[in-house]
Chain A
Amino acid sequence: MPKKGTKSRKGTDDEPKQEEKNKLPEHLEVQRTRVVCKGDAPVNTEGFQYAGAFAAMGIDNSVSADKFCKNFKVVVNRLTEDDMEFDMIGIDASMANAFRRILIAEVPTMAIEKVLMADNTSVIADEVLSHRLGLIPLDADPRLFEYISENDVPTERNTIVYKLHVSCKKGSPRLTVKSGDLEWLPEGSQLPLASPAQSGDKQKTYTSFSQSQKDILEKPLGVKFKDITIARLGPGQAIELEVHAVKGIGKVHAKWSPVATAWYRMLPEVVLREEIKDADAEMLVAKCPVNVFDIEDLGNGEKRAVVARPRACTLCRQCVMGPTGEVMGPTVEQVELRRVRDHFIFTIESTGALPPEMLFTEAVRILEEKCERVISELS
């Protein structure tokens, strides 16, 4: 139980220091550290930014690097190939949001940018087919590639070339073109430029690969998911095209975003203001659709409600607000829903180019680069 152990350790460490500090009253401490989600609106959403907010009571509310290094923790709850969920503890909402924004908009990936259409007799228009190709996630590490600008020549360092050549013969049944049909061309483009060829010279193509990408890459470049439907071909229809993938960021187009989405939520905290027993306890447990509450047997035939799984709270607010028309239960005023202001449950869903844990480290690195750029520009 590493999670519980971590919390226990934190509690133990904090106990001696609390004796030395002046403590805030309970309601002010809640106001400082919690968002209270009432039935009609959340309150205390923004918190206190002023460093001297509680100076009169001897509390230092400022942000400092030492405090951050001491208090900050990351706990990974779930990690799969495509998504991860972790807790960031002891960080401000603006910082968490900065990571979210960088993940969505500024971490680069490779995506198809140019489509050279040789043949397209399917019912899908050229532009729509190109748009669909651009949204296909590619299995390519963007850190191995450079950005390309309009004046650059496509080389093996900044471009990936794929080919798609599918046809449905007359008389055969309908054919579904999938992303697995995209074929990687490590030697570069195979389409000749439309200029007269000179004898002896090599035919000019749309790219200038000086060497094969197989030589400089450890694994073949392909698409991440091979079963994405691109088009459906009827008998007699064909698609023949070549695509060029380049490096980009999600701020320019969503196809370059490395995450399907990235978001966070604050840690839910459910507080029972007073003891809820017997029938009221059962009613409270039945109300919650995600089983936050549980029944604790007190032994002598009595029962009471306890908060068993506050993390599962989805803020349906059934326990603090009865639906209109239903009988208002007695538990409405006894339950308080809160969100811990500096505890973020962060979720990253990767589109596949990079695993989610590397995406987060890339985001941290990008934020670091931004800070260094600001520092260097200020000096």
Chain B
Amino acid sequence: MERTEEEEAPAAKDPNASLPSPTYRSLAAPVTKPVDKFALLPAFLKVRGLVKEHIDSFNYFITKGIRNIVKANNRIEARNNPSIFLRYNSVRVGVPSVQVQYIAEKITPHFCRLTDRTYSAPVLADIEYTVGKQYELKRKPNFIIGYLPIMLRSHACVLNGKDEAELARYGECPLDPGGYFIVKGTEKVILIQEQLSKNRIIIDTDSKGRVIASVTSSTHEIKSKTVIFMEKEKIYLQLNQFTKPIPIIVVMKAMGMESDQEVAQMVGRDPRYGDLLYPSIQECAFERIYTQKQALQYMDDKVMYPGAGNQKEGRSKSILRDVFVAHVPVESGNFRPKCIYTAVMLRRMMDAILNADTFDDKDYVGNKRLELSGQLISLLFEDLFKTMNSNAVELMNKTSEKIHSSPLDLSLHIKENIITHGLERAISTGNWDIKRFRMHRKGVSQVLSRLSYMASLGYMTRITPQFEKTRKTSGPRALQPSQWGMLCPCDTPEGEACGLTKNLALLTHVTTDQEEGPLMNLCYSLGVEDLSLLSGEEIHASGSFLVMFNGLILGKHRQPQRFANAMRKLRRSGIIGEFVSIFVNEKQHCIHIASDGGRVCRPLIIADKGIPRVKEHHMKQLRDGIRSFDDFLRDGLIEYLDVNEENNALIALYEHEDQDDVQRSSITHIEIEPLTILGVVAGLIPYPHHNQSPRNTYQCAMGKQAMGNIAYNQLFRADSLLYLLVYAQRPLLTTKTIELVGYDKLGAGQNATVAVMSYSGYDIEDAIVMNKSSLDRGFGRCIAMKKYTVTKEKYEGGYSDRIVKPQRDKDGALLKQNMRALDEDGFAAPGLIIRNHDIYVNKQTPRNTKRDSGAHLTDRDYKDSPAVYKGVDGETTVVDRVMLCSDTDEKLIIKCIIRHTRRPEVGDKFSSRHGQKGVCGTIVQQEDFPFSERGICPDLIMNPHGFPSRMTIGKMIELLGGKAGVSCGQFHYGSAFGEPSGNADKVEDISRTLVKHGFSYNGKDLLYSGILGHPCQAYVFMGPIYYQKLKHMVLDKMHARASGPRVLLTRQPTEGRSRDGGLRLGEMERDCLIAYGASMLIFERLLISSDPYQVQVCRKCGLLGYYNHKLKASYCSMCKNGENMAKMRMPYACKLLFQELQAMNVVPRLKLTEG
């Protein structure tokens, strides 16, 4: 039966409808397809991947650093008798082991985690020493000087180089990146510390607006800060050792540069420099200082501690040599390098005065250095090593002073505990106290968070600042352009640490120190002229540049660009280290060469006039396994640039993209992949470049709170608190970073079908409405595991606690019902349900722990001290595991892991990957939920108000991409800035896939109401979005109280949920009640429900009396009678206030009126 069109009502065309203007494809399409360079990312991460900077830093310490420290302090001798000595010949780190009954047993990291031990290895040294009265020389190899905690997966770790099967045998997760320590069973991370560069000139203004040039010098022996500032047109030196600022010309004369003309030439022959320098020269002449001797005498009068020491040359000269710009060496009293350095500082300062563009930015990433764990442990080890040697010398001196003593043996006085316990205590507490440098830092090491896999990775890439977090200055917190590619722009906390705590980007590498001597010689070979051969006039000749090496002035070069190109060519061919940085600073007329540790750098593809050196055949060889990432470096295809050197480069994001303002031939480097400017945690976000930036930052915070899987060995660990998602999934719309870091194997969320619509009002304020059937089938179901530890204590006299079996009556029934979870050995049985107030370890303690030794205790001498489980009433928790081990004091430790499987309930917190968090507002039956024409019933309903003001377009695209993914059966990608290179799917392509499978291109479906049955009045945006379950659950936060404990002092309810405290009525709540006029409610909350107390008040004198319960009469102590007493109720805290005032001789008197 064919339908015929109705002729009665023809559809008239809308005359206002206009066709949209057609779009044209770009006429500048690329002629060739760009080379896909993504395979370089996993190749790089294999070599220098995640947290490798931690491991590299520690490896540098245990291979070179510890050797240098011991070599620098390799001989100790008795003070009175130099023939008695001990020498350390070589030092190395052994295999991780623990001393059990004088036998070294090898240990694994997991063994240390479970048994609360420190994963450490002995530091072995070959020593030779003299012994006996004849000073006989002896040698002793493998002498243990201490135990060093070992970073996991470093060279000394047993996990180094192991494959997946071997790691599983050790009980480790192959996805665990390592890079942390295990101290007393706790995983500790030494966070990356951000510092200002040492030995570098910083031009800045201080709080008074003065222009200052400052250098923080750091050498092996001393750290000092040198500040030169200008005030009232005169230039001064400020140093802690001097009581007053010293005029700078006096300092120059004191260092031997007596001629004013020479100083002026050294600064520069520009007349403007002379004008700025003239008032200082005049001031020096005014002080009548013309010679070096006079200058030194002038400075000697200003020394802070003049009486200290009797030195021939005077204190000020030694200060100038050792403290003033301490990193510039003074050889044989030659102060000329320091004079030149000071002149360069003056010149830079005057440049800044003349041109504000030349100020330095302290927040510029190139002016920062990152201190990693190897450097921090190096400082600590050196301090402890010196302390150990000093103690040994002191003991030897005391011993050798006695006559006819036992044979003198220095090796007996070496106490290995100093190093062992010092390192362990520092890493355990996070307090770095080094006396020599007056370093007192806290929070250096923190417990590695195992809340989720992402939380662990985020910890390893975190950078902590040295600033006070309470300062509100915006400079250090602002996002720096120099952070591009080095630090993640999104991953930073909200709140007080916002912008200060940062995270490394994906391809960032932090350098370690490289040897300086050969590089210096190479610079001289390439034409650097030594400054000692040049006059001031020649130093600043036009066209020639200074060459500074790690903050030291090497000399001058007349052809700077050629010198820089030659150095770079050598670096690209592998002759010098790949991390050496060559930065030509045109403004400063200086070439900076840096080979020190702590610089952030990243790999980039070298381009010759815009054409990349990496070709398709190189990538094919990489994919086939023939070529590795190091081959790219060696062949000069890829190189590392640090932040400073990036200023000399022009880096393009993609190939073949000509801009109007940039010529293609001027491009020097090309990014490997733009998604690498984000870090590990931010790399989880799909389409972050389509989101508002704060939403990405919020997701970086919440991604670490998401439950999921934390490691392959998560069920064999003994963490204090562990959250797991039962059915964790991999995101449907994934990113390349997710695959690179292994998040697809340890997911922390589930793909939920989300309908963006209004429903029932329970989705107010970001709450979500959830489908009950989805929860029934396992959506959002999680497991919380908690560890409870019981120690079997030992007491004096050999007594100890004991574990007894549960007590039963003659019929075999339990005497106490709360022992039902116990097995016959007195411990809770795995698999049994344990409830609130149940006993999980049936422990007894001796009543008298100080009894005479040897006496035998009977049952009557013990008292019950069981370990009782505290949980929520009505919840079913299960004993998962019981572990027994002995700690380092040979005590028995019982660890009970209790497991609780939870189902989402109203109030639990969920979040998508775009900072859109919400609690569960209500749970609705599936039959009441709307459904689509394909029968799809959403798992949750999201309020559409969540989108407009937050601008999370990336979330919308994620919905489309996920929907296309389930339609065509493939994962879709949403990597950052990935559309041009194919690492992110375009919206047009996703929409085409949707249309091909019968969906609307904009992702909106026709839904039918589940309650009424007819279609909804709008098409609904519906599809899968990856949702994370966050750790904030009602069961952990729910609190109510009718009555409970009180504080002893104020008799008010205790504070906090864990102490069964009262619910707080804050000042704002009080103000609201006052404004509302609810007086009786205030009265009830602040008195009746808090701390009511009945006091006896004397009507006559107004003071507080007391009630004598024996005589049943009130009494006033002041009036000495009870005739005028009245009873009233007041808060006990108020009574306490009155009594405290009386204790301070303030007499509060009450005037009573009849109520």
Q: In the bound complex, do residue A96 and residue B926 qualify as a contact, i.e. CB atoms below 8 Å apart?
A: no
Whether B8 sits at the interface, judged by CB under 8 Å, is yes
CA distance A257 to B927 in the complex (A): 11
Question: Which residue of chain B is the closest to A38 with respect to CB atoms?
Answer: B1019
CA distance A196 to B810 in the complex (A): 14
CB neighbours (8 Å) of B23 from chain A are 325
- Given A105-B927, A128-B901, check contact A273 B991 (CB 8 Å): no
Q: In the bound complex, do residue A125 and residue B899 qualify as a contact, i.e. CB atoms below 8 Å apart?
A: yes
Whether A97 sits at the interface, judged by CB under 8 Å, is yes
CB neighbours (8 Å) of B776 from chain A are 253-255
CB contact list, B880-907 vs A, under 8 A: 880, 899, 901
CA distance A289 to B926 in the complex (A): 31
- Given A126-B878, A315-B933, check contact A101 B1016 (CB 8 Å): no
CB contact list, B984-1013 vs A, under 8 A: 988, 991, 994-1002, 1005-1006, 1008-1013
Whether A317 sits at the interface, judged by CB under 8 Å, is yes
CB neighbours (8 Å) of B812 from chain A are 196
Q: In the bound complex, do residue A316 and residue B8 qualify as a contact, i.e. CB atoms below 8 Å apart?
A: no
CA distance A320 to B407 in the complex (A): 104
CB neighbours (8 Å) of B899 from chain A are 125, 127
Whether A275 sits at the interface, judged by CB under 8 Å, is yes
From A46, A98, A125, A250, give the contact of B880 (CB < 8 A): A125
- Given A96-B1013, A125-B878, A289-B998, check contact A117 B831 (CB 8 Å): yes
Q: In the bound complex, do residue B777 and residue A254 qualify as a contact, i.e. CB atoms below 8 Å apart?
A: yes
Q: In the bound complex, do residue A264 and residue B1 qualify as a contact, i.e. CB atoms below 8 Å apart?
A: no
Whole-angstrom distance from the CB of A263 to the nearest CB of chain B?
4
Q: In the bound complex, do residue B6 and residue A45 qualify as a contact, i.e. CB atoms below 8 Å apart?
A: no
Whether A339 sits at the interface, judged by CB under 8 Å, is yes
- Given A131-B778, A261-B937, A315-B933, check contact A275 B1015 (CB 8 Å): no
Q: In the bound complex, do residue B880 and residue A257 qualify as a contact, i.e. CB atoms below 8 Å apart?
A: no
- Given A26-B8, A251-B925, check contact A7 B1 (CB 8 Å): yes
Whether B3 sits at the interface, judged by CB under 8 Å, is yes
Whole-angstrom distance from the CB of B680 to the nearest CB of chain A?
27
Whether B772 sits at the interface, judged by CB under 8 Å, is yes
From B17, B878, B1014, B1018, give the contact of A93 (CB < 8 A): B1014
Question: Which residue of chain A is the closest to B927 with respect to CB atoms?
Answer: A101
Q: In the bound complex, do residue A273 and residue B1014 qualify as a contact, i.e. CB atoms below 8 Å apart?
A: no
CB neighbours (8 Å) of B515 from chain A are none
Q: In the bound complex, do residue B995 and residue A289 qualify as a contact, i.e. CB atoms below 8 Å apart?
A: yes
Q: In the bound complex, do residue A254 and residue B926 qualify as a contact, i.e. CB atoms below 8 Å apart?
A: yes
- Given A289-B997, A325-B23, check contact A339 B1010 (CB 8 Å): no
CA distance A261 to B932 in the complex (A): 11
Whether A327 sits at the interface, judged by CB under 8 Å, is yes
Whether A231 sits at the interface, judged by CB under 8 Å, is no
Whether B76 sits at the interface, judged by CB under 8 Å, is no
- Given A26-B9, A125-B880, A323-B991, check contact A289 B996 (CB 8 Å): yes
CB contact list, A80-102 vs B, under 8 A: 92-98, 100-101
CA distance A37 to B714 in the complex (A): 52
From B14, B781, B988, B1018, give the contact of A41 (CB < 8 A): B1018
CB neighbours (8 Å) of B1012 from chain A are 46, 93-94, 97
CB neighbours (8 Å) of A264 from chain B are 1008
Q: In the bound complex, do residue B1 and residue A45 qualify as a contact, i.e. CB atoms below 8 Å apart?
A: no
Whole-angstrom distance from the CB of A377 to the nearest CB of chain B?
23
CB neighbours (8 Å) of B715 from chain A are 123
- A318-334 toward B: CB 8 Å interface, digit per residue (1/0)? 10000101011000111
Q: In the bound complex, do residue A254 and residue B878 qualify as a contact, i.e. CB atoms below 8 Å apart?
A: no
CB neighbours (8 Å) of A123 from chain B are 715
CA distance A46 to B1012 in the complex (A): 9
Q: In the bound complex, do residue A254 and residue B772 qualify as a contact, i.e. CB atoms below 8 Å apart?
A: yes
CA distance A349 to B934 in the complex (A): 12
Whether B873 sits at the interface, judged by CB under 8 Å, is no
Please report the total number of A residues contacting B with Cβ < 8 Å.
73
Interface on chain A toward B: helix, strand, loop, or mixed SS? mixed
Q: In the bound complex, do residue A315 and residue B1006 qualify as a contact, i.e. CB atoms below 8 Å apart?
A: yes
CA distance A339 to B996 in the complex (A): 22
Whether A79 sits at the interface, judged by CB under 8 Å, is no
CB neighbours (8 Å) of B1016 from chain A are 42, 45
- Given A45-B1014, A93-B1014, A125-B901, check contact A104 B998 (CB 8 Å): no
Q: In the bound complex, do residue A290 and residue B998 qualify as a contact, i.e. CB atoms below 8 Å apart?
A: yes
Whether B22 sits at the interface, judged by CB under 8 Å, is yes
- A238-276 toward B: CB 8 Å interface, digit per residue (1/0)? 000000000000110111010001111110000111110
Q: In the bound complex, do residue B10 and residue A127 qualify as a contact, i.e. CB atoms below 8 Å apart?
A: no
From A40, A47, A97, A333, give the contact of B14 (CB < 8 A): A333
CB neighbours (8 Å) of A328 from chain B are 19-20
Whether A11 sits at the interface, judged by CB under 8 Å, is yes
Of the candidates B13, B773, B1002, the one having the most CB atoms from chain A within 10 angstroms of its own CB is B773
- Given A274-B10, A316-B1001, check contact A126 B1014 (CB 8 Å): no
Q: In the bound complex, do residue A316 and residue B927 qualify as a contact, i.e. CB atoms below 8 Å apart?
A: no
CB contact list, A293-321 vs B, under 8 A: 306-307, 314-318
CA distance A27 to B1019 in the complex (A): 23
Whether B531 sits at the interface, judged by CB under 8 Å, is no
Q: In the bound complex, do residue B10 and residue A104 qualify as a contact, i.e. CB atoms below 8 Å apart?
A: no
Whether A203 sits at the interface, judged by CB under 8 Å, is no
Q: In the bound complex, do residue B783 and residue A46 qualify as a contact, i.e. CB atoms below 8 Å apart?
A: no
From A47, A272, A289, give the contact of B5 (CB < 8 A): A272
CB neighbours (8 Å) of A98 from chain B are 1013
CB neighbours (8 Å) of B783 from chain A are 125, 127-128
Whether B726 sits at the interface, judged by CB under 8 Å, is yes
Q: In the bound complex, do residue B933 and residue A46 qualify as a contact, i.e. CB atoms below 8 Å apart?
A: no
Whether A159 sits at the interface, judged by CB under 8 Å, is no
Whether A175 sits at the interface, judged by CB under 8 Å, is no
CA distance A261 to B11 in the complex (A): 40
CA distance A177 to B676 in the complex (A): 43
- Given A314-B933, A334-B11, check contact A104 B997 (CB 8 Å): no
CB neighbours (8 Å) of B10 from chain A are 273-274
Q: In the bound complex, do residue B995 and residue A42 qualify as a contact, i.e. CB atoms below 8 Å apart?
A: no
CB neighbours (8 Å) of B1019 from chain A are 40-42
Whether B931 sits at the interface, judged by CB under 8 Å, is yes
Q: In the bound complex, do residue B19 and residue A105 qualify as a contact, i.e. CB atoms below 8 Å apart?
A: no
CA distance A266 to B933 in the complex (A): 8
CB contact list, B1008-1048 vs A, under 8 A: 1008-1019
Whether A33 sits at the interface, judged by CB under 8 Å, is no
CB contact list, B1-54 vs A, under 8 A: 1-3, 5-6, 8-11, 13-14, 17, 19-20, 22-23
Known: A104-B926, A251-B927, A265-B933. 7 other contacts (CB 8 A): A8-B1, A93-B1014, A127-B783, A127-B901, A131-B726, A263-B935, A266-B1015
24 contacts between A and B (CB under 8 A): A26-B8, A41-B1019, A42-B1016, A42-B1019, A45-B1014, A46-B1014, A93-B1014, A125-B880, A127-B783, A250-B926, A263-B937, A265-B1008, A271-B3, A272-B5, A273-B5, A274-B11, A289-B996, A314-B933, A314-B999, A316-B994, A323-B991, A325-B988, A327-B20, A328-B19
Which A residues lie at the B interface, using CB under 8 A? 4, 7-8, 11, 26-27, 35, 37, 40-43, 45-47, 92-98, 100-101, 104-105, 117, 120, 123, 125-128, 131, 135, 196, 250-251, 253-255, 257, 261-266, 271-275, 289-290, 306-307, 314-318, 323, 325, 327-328, 332-334, 336, 339, 347, 349
**Smallest CB-CB A-B distances: 6 pairs:** A97-B1013, A254-B776, A273-B11, A314-B998, A263-B935, A93-B1013
